[in-house]
Structure 1
């Protein structure tokens, strides 16, 4: 693969428009917070299926401490990838789908922090800001999956620009983003949109997938009903049950959950493991006594669950992710 320097890398991104960073709103200029090198729109022009023309991208800062950022995209009209190029690329790439109950997309805690951690270790990371089902889109149950599929294809289409191996693109998601990661892993070949360019001829299947503390269904296991948006609107149908969607074509999966998660029960991960094992899909599962929900990197610090990123890296390497 032909080497490119940072200037060339940034210039290459201009073939898909760079976006301003609304995620930076309200951040102290001096703070050492992780930031992407650039953003790339997922779709040329308007994303397909918009039924709410008044929708605008919107960021909410939830932290009251100026030393900590905890932002979320609470409205998404322009789905995009925020790109963290590896300092010394090893060819591996990761698509990150943050959580947010399909009502928001968490920026820092389940997006930028992991992306920066990976970039320092040779992995180019892409944080996906996917559309939210209840914000005015046609086919709401598939709108986030369409963005995840498009993201995988676009990453592979632009692999040479971004110094990555198109065969070594993995996916990882948290909570509702874990559902989306699992949806991508199990329904990567389902047609969710009309192709728009050459990128859409490429495969959307991740090399490996890591749905972490995922929602897998709106069913009796989900006592608190945190995921009530359009993607879960028809309880009981197979399309929303990740464990019911698993086939032998599902990529190898890394599962991780805390036993004390009071939002999404550990039973979800146990069910997913059972389905993967029944389909003969290679699976690695880690359950931790303590960690709660939404631990990401930040809230895992100082707890046994803090081991999860290195466990994932080592496992994914055994499946060819790191070359």
Structure 2
């Protein structure tokens, strides 16, 4: 009896401390990648000393559930040039911050290009100097990742009641390739799978799919650094301008320094505060109390 009680208390503690639930987005093989035979893997031995996920063939969302959900939810798409997913810095760390604000987070593992070694970052780095070639390699995967994002939004909306969520307060945010995915989702969506607000962080505009600006009010929050090594700062300005011209609520933060991929990493400069600015923006839009 005592052992059962201890197990129950331990489970209850886990449930109330960033409780996690991994959810498959599809039954069986995902359409478009039925012949993929490789297995998802994780690597921490890379030049950035950060945890990355690669060879995603079975897309999932991992639900991070706060102790007291406020009804708002955000799907978080890590970046990695559609080859890897920076799962902590641009995924789980973001989810935990959102949880502290009462926001339910869903970290998305979307389909990416097949890596041939156990060091996917080392494989990727030489490709970053030729975006034309990289875009060509990614061309077959970006639509699949976009479908994963759209499916994730629909799943959260369809199951909003189960998670104590408001189906009209579902956001989608992403970093780098995840920002590209964010914009592809909102531009390609229908009513059932369109997010209510979006936040592309240092997005890459050239690979975005679709161009259908939402007719419904869809606030956007954008952040990027001027010294982005990949030159993505103008991409964020272009996205902002399109949103502004469409008379959609839009906010753009451009930091003097921070480089590419700052995410939740703390470096003692102004980009450290972008997430707090995002929180203030969520509050202004009525998604936080």
Give TM-score scaled by structure 1 length. 0.72
Q: 2:25 aligns with which of 42, 47, 67?
A: 42
Report the equivalent of 1:90: 70
Between 1:149-158 and 1:160-169, the stretch displaced more is: 160-169
Residue pairs, 1:172-321, within 5 angstroms: 172-189=173-190, 203-217=192-206, 232=207, 240=208, 244-246=211-213, 248-249=215-216, 251-299=218-266, 301-321=267-287
Asked if the contact 2:217/2:249 (under 8 Å) is kept, the reply is no
2: CA distance between counterparts of 1:157 and 1:320?
22
Q: Partner of 1:131 in structure 2?
A: 111
- Give how far 1:260 is off: 0.9
Q: Which residue of 2 aligns with 1:197?
A: none
Deviates more, 1:312-321 or 1:80-89: 312-321
Q: What SS does the aligned partner of 2:163 have?
A: coil
Q: How far does residue 265 in structure 1 lie from its aligned partner after superposition?
A: 2.5
Q: Is the 8 A contact 1:178 1:213 kept in 2?
A: yes
Contact 1:174–1:214 (8 Å) recurs in 2: yes
1:80–1:128 Cα contact (<8 Å) kept: yes
> Per residue, is there more helix in 1 or in 2?
2
For the 8 Å contact 1:92–1:164, the answer to whether it is kept is yes
- In the alignment, the residues of structure 1 paired with residue 43 and residue 76 of structure 2 have an alpha-carbon distance, to the nearest angstrom, of 20
* Counterpart-to-counterpart distance in 2, 1:158 and 1:247: 23
After superposition, give the CA deviation of every residue in 1:77-118 in whole Å (9 maximum; x if it has no partner).
110011110122111111001100001111111101111111
Task: Name the residue aligned to 2:42.
Answer: 59
CA distance in 2, matches of 1:124, 1:117: 10
Counterpart CA distance in 2 for 1:61 and 1:141 is 24
Unaligned runs of 5+ in 1: 1-5, 12-33, 190-201, 218-231, 233-239
Q: CA deviation at 1:319?
A: 2.2
- Give the aligned partner of residue 146 of structure 1: 147
Displacement of 1:282 in angstroms is 1.1
Please identify, of 41-50 and 77-86, the stretch whose mean Cα deviation from structure 2 is larger.
41-50
Q: How has the CA–CA distance of structure 1 residues 282 and 262 changed in structure 2, closer, same or farther, with 3 Å as cutoff?
A: same
Relative to 1, partners in 2 of residues 1:36 and 1:80: Cα closer, same or farther, differing over 3 Å? Answer: farther
Distance 1:79 1:311 in 2: 30
* Structure 1 residues 281 and 77, CA gap change in structure 2 (3 angstroms): same
Q: What displacement does 1:52 show? A: 2.9
Alignment RMSD (CA, Å): 3.0
CA distance in 1, matches of 2:274, 2:194: 23
Seen in structure 2, the aligned counterparts of structure 1 residues 293 and 122 have a Cα distance that, compared at 3 Å, is same
Q: For each residue in 1:256-315, what CA deviation from the matched residue of structure 2 results, as whole angstroms up to 9, or x when unmatched?
A: 11111112421111111111111111100111111111011114x421112211211221
Aligned position for 1:24: none
* Count of residues paired in the alignment: 258
TM-score (norm 2): 0.80
Give runs of ≥4 in structure 1 deviating > 3 Å.
62-65, 133-141, 244-250
Residues 248 and 280 in structure 1, CA contact (< 8 A), matched pair in contact too: no
Conservation of the 8 A alpha-carbon contact between 1:51 and 1:137: no
Q: CA shift at 1:132, angstroms?
A: 1.7
